[in-house]
Amino acid sequence: MGHAVPLKVKGMEVWLLDAGEDLLEGLKTMAEERGVSNGLILSGFGSLSTLSVKNPVGGNFPPPMASTKGTGPYEMVAITGTIGEVAVKGDTVHGKVHVHIAVTDKDGRALGGSLDVGSKVFWKAQINVAIL
């Protein structure tokens, strides 16, 4: 059965990443530089020149993950995730950034999954973060 976990928001920040930066590595660096050990990635937008995501395959748990890589440009239409343990102790490694992303290609086709290293910012990316 589901449950609720009360969270206290300390503040909100907008993180800006520039062309050529790796999106996942950039978010990890921002979290470290800003001293954010727990947070929520609420939303964001921008563009990517390359995409690297992982998606589960098969019916076993934990599932094996398949990589999808592509060359854009891509338009980021959704991004969400967590920084640190956030709500469930032991669910993630302290300080870990876990992000899910959806993008569209030049023909409007959607791709997405769990963000992996190798997704490079094309022009700019703005990520809206709640600090817990």
Residue-wise DSSP of 12-79 = EEEEEEETT-BHHHHHHHHHHHHT-SSEEEEEEEEEEEEEEEEEE-SSSSSPPEEEEEEEEEEEEEEE
Q: What is the pLDDT of residues 40-71, one digit of tens each?
A: 999 999 999 999 999 999 888 888 899 999 99
Q: What is the pLDDT of residues 1-54, one digit of tens each?
A: 888 878 899 999 999 999 999 999 999 999 999 999 899 999 999 999 999 999
Is residue 2, in this structure, part of any structural domain at all? no
Cis peptide before 6 (omega within 30 of 0): no
Q: Is residue 1 part of a domain?
A: no
Structure token pair of residue 27: 């978010």
What digits encode the pLDDT tens for the residues 106-130? 999 999 999 999 999 999 999 999 9
CA distance 17 to 120: 10
pLDDT value for 120:
98
Residues 109 and 111: their CA atoms lie apart, in Å, by 7
pLDDT of residue 22: 98
Whether residue 121 lies inside any domain: the answer is yes
User: What does the pLDDT average to over 71-95?
Assistant: 77
pLDDT of residue 94 exceeding 50, the answer is no
Q: Which domain, by its residues, includes 66?
A: 11-131
Q: How many domains does the chain have?
A: 1
CATH number at residue 38: 3.30.1330.80
What sign for the dihedral angle of Cα 39, 42, 45, 50? positive
